[in-house]
Amino acid sequence: MSAILFGSVSTLADTSELQRRAFNEAFKAHGLDWNWSRDDYIAMLGSNGGAQRIADYAQSVGADVDSAAIHATKSEIFQDLLGNSALEARPGVLETVQEAKRSERKLGFVTTTSQGNIDAILAALQPHISAKMFDLIVNRDSVSKPKPDAAAYAFALEQLGEAPGTVVAIEDNVGGVAAASAAGVACIAFPNENTAGGDFSAAAETVESLDASRVLGLTTA
């Protein structure tokens, strides 16, 4: 056996602009006049963790806010947006999932986001992609350290009973690629519309769409 590990919500469907919209609506809900432009948001995407982005931004503008509460509101808004948007899987994702199942590769969804976000994206992509297709789903409560730490991938390898050299990860951001690389897992960078300008030199390759045969070729059956 071997495995293909999708590393974030936006490796399945490009939700980056919905994320930014959710942040801005959360700021408004908390009485803040903040509005992150696309350029602002892109500049923040070198790191993982929305609550930390809020905290860092608050510090930069000299504001005292409850970043955890704002982020909780953002997550609620984001999940609602996912449920009310006509989302489609990114190019090649459905074919990769189907070919993985046909060829008896394991499938993992290895994130450090909330289970609520995971449930919302998978519900939005049904019936084409659903939770039951994955052999393992990792959320932020599964490990003690978020990406770019290797913990999520180390946990996934242990749970799936796979060695690093038998799997391939698919990540849409620099922190995710760093996490996979730190765990010894080959990674395909699949940038979303807001991370495309990042430094993905640590990835095995960078693509705009997934080629199922190529992805499977990077695993060891």
User: What string of DSSP letters covers 166-199?
Assistant: GEEEEESSHHHHHHHHHTT-EEEE---TTTTTS-
Please state, in angstroms and rounded to a whole number, the distance separating the CA atoms of residues 128 and 131.
10
* Residue 86, pLDDT score: 86
Q: Can you list the alpha helix ranges (DSSP code H) found in the chain? A: 9-12, 16-29, 38-44, 50-60, 67-83, 93-102, 115-125, 151-160, 174-182, 212-217
Q: Under CATH, what is the fold of the domain 3-14+89-217?
A: Rossmann fold (3.40.50)
Please state, in angstroms and rounded to a whole number, the distance separating the CA atoms of residues 8 and 10.
5
Tokens 């959320």: give the residue.
139
List every span in the chain annotated with CATH 1.10.150.240: 16-83
Strands 205-206 and 186-189: parallel
What pTM value is reported for the model? 0.93
List every span in the chain annotated with CATH 3.40.50.1000: 3-14+89-217
pLDDT tens, the chain, 221 aa long:
699 999 999 999 999 999 999 999 999 999 999 999 999 999 888 665 788 889 999 999 999 999 999 999 999 999 999 999 889 999 999 999 999 999 999 999 999 999 999 999 999 999 999 999 999 999 999 999 989 999 999 999 999 999 999 999 999 999 999 999 999 999 999 999 999 988 999 999 999 999 999 999 988 75
Given the candidates 1.10.150.240, 3.30.300.30, 3.40.630.30, 3.40.720.10, the CATH classification of the domain at 16-83 is 1.10.150.240
* Residue 164, pLDDT score: 95
* Residue 186, pLDDT score: 96
| CB-based contact 194:172 (threshold 8 Å) | no
